[in-house]
Amino acid sequence: MKYKLKNDIALRFTMLLVIFLIALGGCTEFLEEVPTDDLTTSADLTSIEYKEPFTIGPYRRLQNWTSGAGDWGNNIPSTMEYLTGGAYTDEPHVQFNKYATNQVTGSLLDVYNNPWYYWYSGVQDCNLSIQQLPLIDMSESELNEALGEVRTLRAFYYFCIVRYWGDAILVTEPITDVWETELPRTSLKTIYDEVIIPDLEFAVQNLSAGRSTDGRVTQDVARAILADVYMTVAGYPYQEVATNPGTDWCGTGAWSMTEYPVASGLEFLQKAQTQLNALYNNVYTLGTYDDLRDPAMDNLGEAIFQVQFDAQLGGNGLLQPSLPLLSAITPSEENGTFTPWVGYYNSYSDDDLRKQERQFFFTYDYLYSNPSERVDFDVPYLYKQYVEAAVKSTDGSGLNWSHYRYGDILLMLTEVNWALKELGQSVSDNDIIKGINEIRERALLPAYTASEVGLKEILAERAYELIFENKMLWDQRRTRKCVVYGDGEISAIQNFVGHQPAIFNFAFAPMHLLSPIPGNEIARNGLSQQNSGYLPTQN
């Protein structure tokens, strides 16, 4: 059933691309028309059979989350971990030394060019669908359901964009002229206020209740993303921008606020709590750590919003980067580029089940050519992406990529309740500890009391549970705090600005709260200015 479904989605993607070409390029009478050199959306796409392609088409760019970022072994998820100071590789193609020595620019391989292209392509797909869906003959409830899916996806793409780059190009209608993309950047606060939050609030109101069983957006998916958005705008950089919206914060890099939680974010925290309470203790279960790397558990257990992959269609692209470099344990590539720094691993308690062999990490395997010969690694490698059937063959990995799972929701719930208590709201001790203690119980760690839970404990548990799920970068930026890896513990948290990761030769500065605008965007859009401190800049 799953294989059929995923091929069906792929077929629908193809249908949508054809429709997009029809919509933008001509009509059925093309051969009889005189070319005008103008793009057109004049094709008749109003019959009901076009509803599903326009609804499902914008999903296609989700799969690019695990795509390459230029050169051998380099992929987008790895590059997002390199920035945090918690990842390491000695594979030279990915140029990790640039991250460790403060030489990252917008032209570093395709580290920034590719996500910018993929996420804005997703926005464009969504904008076209949002324009076309109301023209199709269907009931109001059917229309709102379809729009709820698409607007959730648009909000998610924009959420990724503004967390990475801050102010961004705001486009809410289909682009029919390439020159329409030469625009100045719009305030990140405006994008949150006018697109991301309204899109998600609309979706929660109009989508069918329940979990996603096939990667499609449901009300639960919209709730999870909206809760994350509310928690992000309750922190940084939104709350600092809100103190003076007219300031060019991204261009000047004049970031200075460090307090967390932020008192002015109280209303957003309360809204996040509402969404998280709706997801708590519902239909989701934590299960075992094996479930997290079992393709048979895709869209089941604690999965809330997953990008769909199929081994027969190429797989998720993260298996090879997770394997030790040239270790000969597989007949396929072994890149060694999606690897936690050993100090990160060492900060786990020896009592933590997640640290045990073949839970979240592995330290040995067997030669593919001689399965009886053991290969011991110099350092532990990430086991979360290890699918044995894929490792020991040339097949791809059918493991889905989780953007949101129940473990994340539980930790967000603890954080939001702790933050509300810190800001003077009435919150029970149980509401503070219930989420984090469910996570710790699975890890075979002792439960916390409410008085033991602070921001250090929350961020530490997020670091341990969500390792290499592309959460830490966002956590660092929204809280402006970094964890300090100790021996068997997270020994402290420090302000982001001034924190120096152990494997970097520099301390984070305000510029590092954002990433550089891609070199391709700077070259093609003369109105797009670079973030403070980065190259390339406009001539």
Q: Which token pair is 12?
A: 């629908």
Cα separation, 398 vs 22, whole angstroms: 32
Residue 491, number of CB atoms within 10 A of its CB = 13
Cα separation, 25 vs 41, whole angstroms: 7
Residue 391 has pLDDT above 60, yes or no: yes
Cα separation, 516 vs 532, whole angstroms: 8
In a domain, 67, yes or no: yes
Cα separation, 530 vs 518, whole angstroms: 9
Q: In whole angstroms, how far apart are CA 129 and each of 8, 13, 55, 205?
A: 19, 13, 7, 19
Identify which has the larger pLDDT, 104 or 179.
104
Task: Select from 136, 112, 113, 122 the least CA-distant residue to 52.
Answer: 136
Q: What is the pLDDT of residue 41?
A: 52
* pTM > 0.95: no
478-505, pLDDT tens digit by residue? 999 999 999 999 999 999 999 999 999 9
In a domain, 27, yes or no: no
Please work out, in degrees rounded to the nearest 5, the angle formed at the alpha carbon of residue 535 by the alpha carbons of 531 and 539. 95
* Burial (CB count within 10 angstroms: exposed 0-12, middle 13-18, buried 19+), residue 174: buried
In a domain, 461, yes or no: yes
In a domain, 219, yes or no: yes
Q: What is the pLDDT of residue 33?
A: 39
Cα separation, 326 vs 335, whole angstroms: 7
In a domain, 26, yes or no: no
Give percent of the chain with pLDDT exceeding 90. 90
Residue 531 has pLDDT above 60, yes or no: yes
77-114, pLDDT tens digit by residue? 999 999 999 999 999 999 999 999 999 999 999 999 99
Helix (H) or strand (E) holding 404: strand 401-405
Q: Which token pair is 301?
A: 């257990």
Residue 272, number of CB atoms within 10 A of its CB = 27
pLDDT band at 167 (very low <50, low <70, confident <90, very high): very high
In a domain, 86, yes or no: yes
Q: Say how many domains are in the chain.
A: 1
| CA atoms within 13 A of residue 376's CA, in its CB half-sphere | 1
Q: In whole angstroms, how far apart are CA 34 and each of 24, 26, 38, 176?
A: 16, 11, 11, 19
- DSSP letter at 402? E
Q: What is the pLDDT of residue 156?
A: 99
- DSSP letter at 253? T
444-482, pLDDT tens digit by residue? 999 999 999 999 999 999 999 999 999 999 999 999 999
Number of H helices and number of E strands within the chain?
A: 20, 6
- The answer to whether residues 368 and 390 touch, using CB atoms and an 8 Å cutoff, is no
Residue 416 domain boundaries: 46-92+102-250+260-538
In a domain, 19, yes or no: no
Q: Which residues pair with 361 in a beta bridge?
A: 357, 382
Residue 210 has pLDDT above 60, yes or no: yes
Domain CATH number, residue 359: 1.25.40.390
In a domain, 379, yes or no: yes
Average pLDDT over residues 423-445: 98
pLDDT band at 284 (very low <50, low <70, confident <90, very high): very high
23-78, pLDDT tens digit by residue? 433 333 323 434 444 323 557 889 999 999 999 999 999 999 999 999 999 999 99
Average pLDDT over residues 504-528: 98
Residue 257 has pLDDT above 60, yes or no: yes
